[in-house]
Amino acid sequence: MCSYFLIFAAIPGFFVSSWLVMLLWGVFAPDLGWPTISYTTAMLITVTLWLAVAPLAAAAGRKGGRD
């Protein structure tokens, strides 16, 4: 039952992560000649990164207990 509530705890983290991606992209993009991104694009980048990293984190968590 506790893991059910962890999903709800991740929701604010997603929005904060998206906001940070947008801010950091705005800092580095002009130096690299890239255009700045909107908040919705930052949300798309964040969810893509989360989907890529989540299986890796789960696998590392499972393997860490067997050491």
Task: Return the domain boundaries, the chain.
Answer: 6-58
The count of other CB atoms within 10 Å of the CB of residue 36 is 13
The Cα 35–Cα 33 span in angstroms is 7
Residue partners of 26: CB distance under 8 A and separation at least 6: 36, 37
pLDDT (tens place) for every residue of the chain, 67 residues total: 567 777 788 889 899 999 999 999 999 999 999 999 999 999 999 999 989 988 888 888 787 555 4
